[in-house]
């Protein structure tokens, strides 16, 4: 296809934005006949925005066509992922086989550093979970520990962890957390958030394992777990130690906000005792900014003490 012809088709697709029915018809036509990737992506975006049931047969056919010789027709699986995004609101039980095939599609590209197809497998797993949670849970366990996982995004293991956590399948998540070898920070954080029913002794083990992590993402997952777990209030020193030592003011703000709004009175009380010893002016500013979010009279005296100590020095 010449550059001029390609630009003409894209321009026509854009020009039809004011006539949605005609734009949809033209997008379907492009999906059936077009070979240029950029043009196909534009057409698929239109089909995604307007999930008409008439789109479904064309999307299924297109997916199968690209899957027949994936590395040649769709290197990187980006078009197949775009097709699944457009197909998602239209899927039905008949599509389970297609989705299972997509979940298990591996086409590694030697020239690429990252795991090709991670987005496709993650997306297929998520859609499969929409249709059949039990079936999806088995694939999620597999993908959670799959070695072919994106080093940048943690996918598809990240989607697998979130699905298992939502389904309250905590054992495979715990296995990931205690296993040896390199782990994705994003996946570790998702697995930590899924340990809300973990026995107390094992919770302590996870805290000791991850509290000294240099990854802010992992620390966020650990803090979120402690704010949700019934025994999380036993670990106020984890919060106080972090708040006293961290130089990340964005993470400091997040944790302070979580303590104030998390509904854990004991953790909030421990934080308010600590703030009076805070000397960092930037941390003091964050404290003064967020203190008004504290409701009720239970901590009124501590809040007033913080205002008294920091308020006059502000400005």
Calpha distance 120→103 (Å, rounded): 7
Neighbouring CB atoms inside 10 A of 277's CB total 9
Q: What pLDDT sits at residue 314?
A: 44
pLDDT computed for residue 207 by the predictor: 97
* C-alpha distance from residue 53 to each of 62, 88, 224, 261 (Å): 15, 11, 40, 44
Distance CA 95, CA 186 (A): 30
| Separation between Cα atoms, residue 44 and residue 296, nearest integer Å | 52
Q: Are 55 and 90 contacting, i.e. CB atoms less than 8 angstroms apart?
A: yes
Which residue in 184, 128, 182, 181 sits closest to 161, CA to CA?
Answer: 184
CB 221 within 8 A of CB 193: yes
Convert the pLDDT of each residue in 24-66 to its tens digit.
999 999 999 888 899 999 999 999 999 999 999 999 999 999 9
- Nearest-angstrom CA–CA distance, 256 and 278: 13
CA distance linking residue 27 with residue 44, whole number of Å: 7
E runs forming strands in the chain = none
Q: Token match 């078009």: residue?
A: 79
Low-confidence ranges of the chain (pLDDT < 50): 113, 313-315
């Amino acid at each position: 296809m010449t550059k001029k012809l390609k630009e003409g088709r894209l321009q026509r697709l854009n020009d039809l934005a004011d006539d949605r029915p005609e734009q949809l018809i033209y997008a379907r036509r492009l999906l059936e006949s077009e070979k240029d990737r950029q043009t196909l992506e534009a057409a698929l975006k239109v089909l995604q925005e307007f999930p008409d049931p008439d789109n479904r047969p064309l999307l299924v056919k297109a997916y199968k066509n690209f899957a027949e010789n994936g590395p040649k027709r769709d290197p990187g699986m980006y078009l197949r992922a775009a097709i699944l995004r457009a197909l998602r609101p239209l899927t039905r039980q008949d599509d389970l086989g297609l989705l299972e095939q997509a979940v298990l599609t591996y086409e590694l590209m030697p020239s690429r550093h990252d795991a090709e197809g991670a987005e496709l497998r993650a997306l297929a797993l998520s859609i499969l979970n929409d249709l059949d949670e039990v079936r999806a849970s088995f694939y999620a366990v597999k993908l959670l520990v799959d070695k072919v996982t994106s080093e940048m995004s943690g996918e598809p293991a990240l989607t697998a962890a979130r699905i298992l956590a939502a389904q309250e399948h905590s054992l495979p998540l715990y296995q990931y957390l205690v296993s040896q070898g390199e782990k994705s920070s994003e996946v570790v954080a998702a697995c930590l958030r899924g340990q809300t029913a973990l026995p107390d002794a094992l919770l302590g083990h996870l805290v000791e394992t991850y509290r000294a992590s240099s990854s802010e993402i992992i620390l966020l997952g650990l803090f979120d777990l402690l704010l949700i777990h019934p025994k999380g209030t036993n670990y106020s020193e984890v919060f106080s130690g972090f708040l006293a030592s961290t130089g990340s003011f964005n993470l400091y703000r997040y944790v302070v906000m979580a303590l104030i709004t998390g509904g854990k009175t004991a953790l909030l009380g421990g934080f308010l005792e600590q703030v009076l010893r805070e000397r960092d002016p930037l941390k003091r500013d964050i404290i003064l900014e967020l203190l008004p979010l504290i409701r009720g009279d239970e901590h009124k005296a501590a809040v007033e003490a913080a205002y008294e100590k920091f308020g006059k020095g502000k400005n």
